[in-house]
Copies of this chain bind each other. A is one copy, B any other.
Amino acid sequence: MREQFDIPEGVIYLDGNSLGAPPKHVAERVQEVVKHQWGNRLIRSWSEGWWEAPQRIGDRIGRLIGAAPGQVVVGDSTSVNVYKALMGAVKGTERTEIVCDESTFPTDGYIAQSVGELTGLKVRAARPSSLDLTEDTAVVLLNHVDYRTGALHDMKALTEQAHDVGTQVVWDLCHSAGVYPTQLDEIGVDYAVGCTYKFLNGGPGSPAFIYVPKHKQATFENPLSGWNGHRAPFAMEASYEPDPGIARARVGTPDILSMLALDAALDVWDGVDMKAHWARGMTLTSLFRSYIEQMTSLEVITPNTLPRGHQISVRCENPAGVMAELIARGVIGDHRPPDILRFGIAPLYIGEQEVKRAAEILAEIVN
């Protein structure tokens, strides 16, 4: 698969958990969109594939996260989709609290805070291992993979635990889409959101997605009731009536260039078996861990158990300085406060040689 990606000579790119590398053919496809679809077909392209793109591309992502067609739509940012999902989940509830993963990527918590303020629900932070959900909990917002440590939470067990007390679950798949063979439909998840620019390689700030299962679509109320979610958008009616299906999760005019770059990037996933793909990542992350442990005295904080994400995080003094030196030597990862070096291992373009060489260079720097 490596041959399908455009990665500069001499770079070992271990930051696919933050911004995935571009598949080679994306540049050409984007050019075709700008020159032909926009430049040549102009407004006509809206009825030649653009309008339905959010649902069509949503279905392509659906295959990778265990969602049957008609339940995933692409558009807006993850933050905006978290807002839609949480507002939809608490609409009309008499319950009094929202629970949010204590170790969440911050934006989810910020959005939960805003939803709490707007709706009068209390927001409580809790570790996924001790959520203490009760019949007061309207919804729990969980990250599938912890962005700092790479720990992957048990979606099935946690969803069941929530449903046992009638609590809805919103799963954030930002760090597991393109990593793990998630089974949203089978598990019966209420809502899921995620970004597409990490392991899915959709491009910088490519649009996010939201999953609303069939059985919840009729009652899901999108607070961002923009015209793209209307039952008949071009009738230009004065009153909002939502589309009966997943299109009700749409808002405004979709960002076609970013969206069709994502569409092109998804081609590399055609035919990828998610179970085998995830297992390949486990092999590579295990290998990277063992090299780091052999060659350095750094503490790997990513759990050494299964399942986990395609990531190895290491505790390190002066992480910004060490990462700057790594990047200067061609190993690109990132760092997160207070003391974490993060390395994403994307099996589509990272192999045994790269993880060994990256560990050697890290050892040269820290030893």
Contacts and interface: CB of A to CB of B under 8 A. Distances in A.
**Could you say how many copies of this chain the assembly holds?**
2
Interface in A38-53: 38-40, 42-46, 50
Interface string A1-29: 00000111001010100110110001100
Interface residues of A, number: 80
A78 interface: yes
Contacts of A31: 27, 30-31
Contacts of A77: 76, 226, 251-255
A213 interface: no
A113 B251 contact: no
Contact of A204 (B11, B45, B203, B252): B45
A149 to B, nearest CB: 13
Contact of A80 (B7, B35, B224): B224
B227 A106 contact: yes
Q: What are the 9 tightest A-B residue pairs by CB atom distance, in nearest-first order?
A: A77-B252, A79-B226, A79-B252, A204-B256, A107-B227, A110-B240, A255-B258, A205-B255, A114-B225
26 contacts: A8-B40, A34-B261, A38-B203, A44-B327, A45-B204, A76-B76, A77-B251, A77-B253, A79-B224, A79-B228, A79-B251, A80-B226, A80-B251, A80-B252, A106-B237, A113-B239, A113-B240, A114-B224, A114-B240, A118-B223, A125-B238, A205-B254, A207-B255, A236-B336, A255-B255, A258-B258
